[in-house]
Amino acid sequence: MSRWSIFVTAKMPDYVERDIAAAFDATFNTTGEKLTQEQVLKGLEGKDALFGGVGVKMDAAFMDKLPSSVKALGTYSVGFDHVDIAAAKAKGMPVFNTPDVLTDTVAECAMLLTLGVARRVTESVALMADWKGWTPLQLNGMEVAGKTMGIFGFGRIGRAIADRARAFKMNIAYSDMNKFSPDLEQGAIYYKDPAELMAHCDILILACNSTPETRGFLNRERLAKMRPTAIVVNIARGDIVNDDALIEALSQNKIMGAGLDVFNNEPNFDPRYKTLPNAFILPHIGSSTVEARRRMGQILIEGLLAFKDGKPARNRLA
Ligand code: NAP
């Protein structure tokens, strides 16, 4: 069977490009330029599949305009809030993503954010520019041992964060659509109502999908339930957070701090975060390790090849 020709929308690491080139006749994005929807549609003319697409909004209009040659779409991410899955299904357009293979990497980043806020890393790094020496008063942070981590969205990444937090002697609580089985809970306490979770935890981790129900979840009313010593970590998507509400809580010390990897309107995130000493902010590097990036490429290649060969794929969304 002939090889598929694919259009790769984003510049990939060279080791991923090599894997792609071994499996497909690929047209790469060599400049790293962020492509518009129109440029992507043009690039897809005569191609069998799209590879990439994290920055490309694949809405119903996009699905309607896809060239007839296109047989599948692959997004180089586990999150698929930028893809209209219902529209893809209606069109009979298969969509593939990258579940599981980035879970450990993202969970490690969640711990980095948690510890970064608890140990006041933003202030510590700033202090090193003019450090006068050790004092007992200097930057007293919060020990996480014995504290309760509350995880909103107890899926693959949420549970992997819990595994790491247990090793740091934290207690685990969670809120999700449904209560999980004991083997997955591993002693974690379930709160059906997320507001209850927020009232009972010291560290709130946002690890849910971005959906119409979760967008704007962290609002003023819910933040008001939190302890003044609490930490918020967002490893999920920026739109889960209402920026005005979180920035108000941070600037008025209504909570201890926030660790944020993702933002509304990336990369043009709210600049007020840059001025807050209790915000520890990262540029959406949650899944950015060499190991995860390579595996993300591999699982997407596997999914597209399986579909091409008429076989089932574990990472098919639509
Ligand atoms: P997952 O296994 O699907 O976990 C998400 C969990 O959130 C599921 O248990 C889901 O429940 C739950 N959830 C969805 N809507 C909810 C709601 N309204 N209330 C409570 N719980 C809700 O996905 P994952 O692999 O862990 O990834 C989670 C998210 O992390 C992704 O969607 C992505 O946006 C984000 N992410 C970020 C980075 C980064 O670079 N920062 C990297 C990877 C992933 P159901 O299964 O019942 O819907």
CA angle 205, 220, 107 (to 5 degrees): 10
Residue ranges covered by each domain of the chain: 5-101+289-308, 103-281
For the Cβ of 160 lying below 6 angstroms from any atom of ligand 1, the answer is no
Residue 296's pLDDT is: 98
For the Cβ of 313 lying below 6 angstroms from any atom of ligand 1, the answer is no
Per CATH, the number for 103-281 is 3.40.50.720
pLDDT tens profile 76-107: 999 999 999 999 999 999 999 999 999 999 99
Residue 50's pLDDT is: 98
Q: Is the distance from CB of 260 to CB of 266 less than 8 angstroms?
A: no
Question: Using omega within 30 degrees of 0 as the cis cutoff, is the peptide bond preceding 267 cis?
Answer: yes
- The ligand 1 atom at the shortest distance from the C-alpha of residue 214 is 18
Q: Which CATH fold topology does 5-101+289-308 show?
A: Rossmann fold (3.40.50)
pLDDT tens profile 211-266: 999 999 999 999 999 999 999 999 999 999 999 999 999 999 999 999 999 999 99
Q: Which residues of the chain have pLDDT under 70?
A: 1
What does DSSP assign to residue 317?
-
Q: Is the distance from CB of 2 to CB of 48 less than 8 angstroms?
A: no
The DSSP line for 11-55 is: PPPHHHHHHHHHHSEEE---S-PPPPHHHHHHHTTT-SEEEE-TT
Ligand 1 centroid to 208 CA: how many Å? 3
Q: What is the pTM of this model?
A: 0.97
- The ligand 1 atom at the shortest distance from the C-alpha of residue 159 is 26
- The ligand 1 atom at the shortest distance from the C-alpha of residue 208 is 7
What CA–CA distance (Å, rounded) separates 2 from 82?
31
Angle between helices 103-118 and 156-167 (to 10 degrees): 50
For the Cβ of 207 lying below 6 angstroms from any atom of ligand 1, the answer is yes
